[in-house]
């Protein structure tokens, strides 16, 4: 018998949601079989076709939905010349069929409980009715947004009542000693008894091999790069201390014109890279790190002892600024605004911080292993109907 898992992320902007789910997939494949004494197989549902360049665990595959993105008027198709209502209908239909045919034992929904424009809602309702033994989890990053914004989003989908109707558990991927979204009001307090803080999804992420070059370096990374132009440009013009190289990774989603401009202003000794095979391997070797405040960038940086300067994105959501401030209050990172992060400021920060050691043992970074333990407990608590590898449906 095989335990089937589906991890859903809507992925309208960037790769943050799907990268978080991919880390969970690797952790479940690593830890879960030894706990439940069954192999696992899974679907990673994403709206980002670029995500398929990331390696999946054995027994997993991608289900790529037609892409959507967000603009000033809300969601719109990323590539197709369709109306957003038609696009939502297509995505919702794919999700309904996939969940019905794959018949998962565990479904983890990242961040948006009902999906983009409620595209997941009908599939969730059907799954609840036809496969009650499936455990359904809402996974949330530790920071959502300003409380007023977050609570408006909860109200728009039916509040705590809707969550309780469709979900068995709520996993918050963070350490409440750093930031507690229940105390700030970002998550309704009435959901507290469904929730577990897992710790950051940090330790245990798959790590590849960086280059064998032993020359010390500073690393600047701006995540997927779609909104990293300003920071990457300032970093490229900063001066690294003598004896250090500077690597600036602009990200696969940075527009070509922005990437070219950054290459044109780079200082001698600074290398501009579109992407790297394994950013985590580079982070582990860096003498100092500059990054934005996205969940995955921060989680990976926290597994190192390198001094880290966080320059959060300030547009759209306040999530990154809130996260950076919370971590800075505990001495885990430093943070400044994009206005402050000029080439001169970054040059001075590099000189003052390269090689410094920042201990981070006071924060819970073991969320990936915890997620596997929680998943096993949920699976064991359900009245599970074990089926052979091929699921038969009446026609």
Report the predicted TM-score, pTM, of the whole model to 2 decimal places: 0.94
| Mean pLDDT, range 8-14, rounded to an integer | 92
Give the span between the Cα atoms of 298 and 327, in whole angstroms: 9
Q: Is the pLDDT of residue 392 over 50?
A: no
pLDDT for residue 393: 44
Tokens of residue 362, six digits: 């006071």
Mean pLDDT in the chain?
Answer: 95
What is the per-residue pLDDT across 294-318, written as a single tens digit (0 to 9) for each? Answer: 999 999 999 999 999 999 998 878 9
| Mean pLDDT, range 10-27, rounded to an integer | 94
pLDDT-derived band of residue 210, with 50, 70 and 90 as boundaries? low
Q: Is 288 in contact with 313 (CB distance < 8 Å)?
A: no
Nearest to 199 by CA among 315, 367, 48, 385: 367
- For residue 155, give Cα distances in angstroms to 83, 276, 325, 385: 26, 40, 27, 34
For the ranges 37-46, 50-59, 174-183, 376-385, the lowest mean pLDDT is seen at 376-385
pLDDT-derived band of residue 209, with 50, 70 and 90 as boundaries? low
| Mean pLDDT, range 15-40, rounded to an integer | 97
Q: Which helix (H) or strand (E) holds 234?
A: helix 229-236
pLDDT for residue 315: 80
Domains of the chain (ranges; CATH) run: 3-203+366-381 (3.40.50.2000), 217-353 (3.40.50.2000)
What is the per-residue pLDDT across 245-276, written as a single tens digit (0 to 9) for each? Answer: 999 999 999 999 999 999 999 999 999 999 99
pLDDT for residue 213: 64
Q: Which residue has the higher pLDDT, 389 or 181?
A: 181
pLDDT for residue 214: 75
pLDDT for residue 383: 62
Q: Is 109 in contact with 120 (CB distance < 8 Å)?
A: yes
- For residue 215, give Cα distances in angstroms to 263, 285, 348: 21, 10, 20
| Mean pLDDT, range 275-299, rounded to an integer | 95
pLDDT for residue 395: 35
What is the per-residue pLDDT across 75-87, written as a single tens digit (0 to 9) for each? Answer: 999 999 999 999 9
What sections of 266-294 are H helices per DSSP? 279-285
- Report the percentage of the chain scoring pLDDT > 90: 90
Which residues are CB-contacts of 216 (< 8 A; sequence separation ≥ 6)?
243, 244, 245, 287, 354, 355
């Amino acid at each position: 018998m095989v335990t089937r898992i589906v991890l859903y992320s809507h992925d309208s902007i960037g790769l943050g949601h799907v990268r978080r789910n991919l880390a969970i997939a690797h952790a479940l494949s690593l830890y879960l079989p030894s706990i439940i004494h069954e192999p696992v197989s899974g679907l990673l549902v994403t709206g980002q076709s670029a995500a398929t360049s990331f390696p999946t665990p054995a027994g997993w595959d991608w289900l790529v939905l037609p892409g959507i993105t967000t603009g000033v008027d809300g969601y719109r198709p990323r590539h197709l010349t369709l109306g957003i209502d038609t696009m939502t209908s297509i995505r919702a239909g794919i999700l309904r069929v996939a969940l019905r045919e794959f018949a998962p034992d565990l479904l983890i929904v990242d961040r948006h409980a009902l999906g983009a424009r409620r595209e997941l809602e009908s599939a969730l309702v059907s799954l609840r009715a036809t496969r009650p033994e499936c455990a359904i989890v809402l996974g949330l990053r530790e920071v959502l947004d300003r409380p007023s914004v977050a609570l408006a989003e909860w109200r728009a989908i039916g509040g705590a009542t809707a969550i309780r109707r469709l979900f068995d558990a709520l996993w918050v991927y963070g350490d409440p000693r750093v930031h507690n979204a229940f105390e700030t009001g970002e998550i309704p307090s009435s959901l507290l008894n469904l929730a577990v803080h897992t710790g950051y999804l940090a330790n245990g992420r798959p790590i590849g091999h960086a280059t064998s070059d032993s020359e010390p370096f500073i690393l600047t990374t701006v995540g997927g790069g779609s909104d990293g132009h300003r920071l990457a440009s300032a970093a490229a013009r900063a001066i690294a201390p003598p004896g250090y190289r500077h690597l600036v990774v602009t990200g696969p989603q940075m527009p070509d014109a922005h990437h070219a401009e950054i290459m044109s202003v780079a200082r001698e000794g600074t290398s501009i890279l579109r992407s790297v095979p394994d950013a985590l391997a580079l982070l582990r070797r860096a003498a100092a790190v500059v990054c934005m405040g996205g969940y995955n960038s921060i989680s990976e940086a926290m597994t190192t002892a390198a001094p880290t300067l966080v320059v959060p994105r300030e547009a759209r959501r306040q999530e990154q600024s809130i996260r950076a401030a919370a971590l800075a209050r505990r001495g885990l990172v430093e943070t400044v605004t994009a206005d402050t992060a000029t080439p001169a400021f970054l040059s001075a920060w590099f000189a003052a911080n390269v090689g410094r050691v920042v201990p981070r043992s006071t924060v819970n970074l073991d969320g990936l292993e915890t997620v596997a333990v929680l998943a096993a407990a949920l699976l064991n608590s359900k009245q599970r109907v074990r089926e052979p590898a091929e699921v038969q449906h009446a026609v």
